[in-house]
Amino acid sequence: MNRRVTVNRLCVATFTAALFACDSKPKVADTPASDATAGQLPAGESFLDVPGGKIWYKVTGNGSGTPVILLHGGPGFTSVYLKSLEAIGDVRKVVRYDQLGSGNSTKISDTAMFTIPHFVAELEALRAHLGYDKIHVLGHSWGTILALEYYRAHPERVASLIFASPALDIPAWEAHARKLVKTLPDSSQHIIEKREAEKNYQSPDYQAAMMEFYGKYVWLRPIKADMDSMFAGANMEIYNYMYGPSEFTTVGTLKHYDGTRYLKNVRVPALFLVGDVDEADPATVKRHASMTPASEYAVIANSAHMITWDNPADTNRLVSSFLNSR
């Protein structure tokens, strides 16, 4: 993603088992998606062959507790902004990975792979490769859609679910984003309205207005190096196809996604987290928690959408407390 495009929102037909299934453990690629060789990767990092390419993953921690796998937002962004959660690895292994098409994983442009079932099957392939019988699943933004749909496809593999700044109801998300736009200065609102009518989403003034929105509701205290990596590794083809051209205009395949009707069927402990000025909307997230049996809800103070940047200490504390009690 270049700096002039928006941060995505942050998103079940079951896949045919044959797509990722094999008689033996999937093999780790001998060469990564980048020019380096797998042997040059730091300890804990590797690549896994999946249909369409290779996914990069990193395992941190030596604890014996049930592992947790982190699912980044997007679709089409990267896991780099979740790395502060690696600090909870004193109790369990923490796995973060870049979904196919983004970050350190193979770049793809085949829209046949830009689907929820593809990403669900990819996560299941990673779990199986790592040999984990059960996992905790932590999703952020679009990653919460992936977490919920993974649970629906493989409930026997999930010990608990963490929905961080969830995007489980895209129509409601877009409606709330439109309300937040009304809090911007009139001049910014006018630019957004004008450029969207023109479908001119790359206009510098439109992008500037979007960044103004981000600074209020997406991040308050971004980590520059991680932000640079996130933008450099983002795949806007995936984001645009699945979500749309901007935060406020949803025309992609996720436009009508609403997973809230499945929340009543969640039979594992669930934790809902949201920043106090999060574009995910604390009121919406609290309502979703109330729809979920055995769920907990907490607001991260002084945080927008990127809670792992804005308040990593409280985020890690709440995540650790929830996981350690399971």
Task: Give the model's confidence band at 248: pLDDT under 50 very low, under 70 low, under 90 confident, else very high.
Answer: confident
Catalytic residue among 102, 105, 141, 295: 141
Per-residue pLDDT tens over the stretch 111-121? 999 999 999 99
Q: The tokens of 169 are what?
A: 């109801």
**35 an active-site residue?**
no
- Biggest alpha carbon distance in the chain? 60
Q: Which position among 129, 165, 305, 310 bears the catalytic label?
A: 305
* 3-class state of residue 196 by DSSP: helix
Q: Could you tell me if 138 and 147 are in contact, meaning their C-beta atoms sit under 8 angstroms apart?
A: yes
Which one of the listed residues 278, 281, 310, 314 is annotated catalytic? 278
Catalytic status, residue 278: yes
129 as an active site residue: the answer is no
Q: pLDDT by residue (tens digit) across 14-43?
A: 322 333 333 333 333 333 344 344 457 888
pTM for the model stands at: 0.89
All structural domains of the chain:
1-326 (3.40.50.1820)
Report how far apart, in Å, the C-alpha atoms of 51 and of each of 96, 97, 110, 130 are: 19, 16, 11, 17
Q: How many CA within 13 A on the CB side of residue 273?
A: 30
The rounded mean pLDDT for the chain is 89
Residue 163 backbone phi and psi in degrees, to 5 = -105, 100
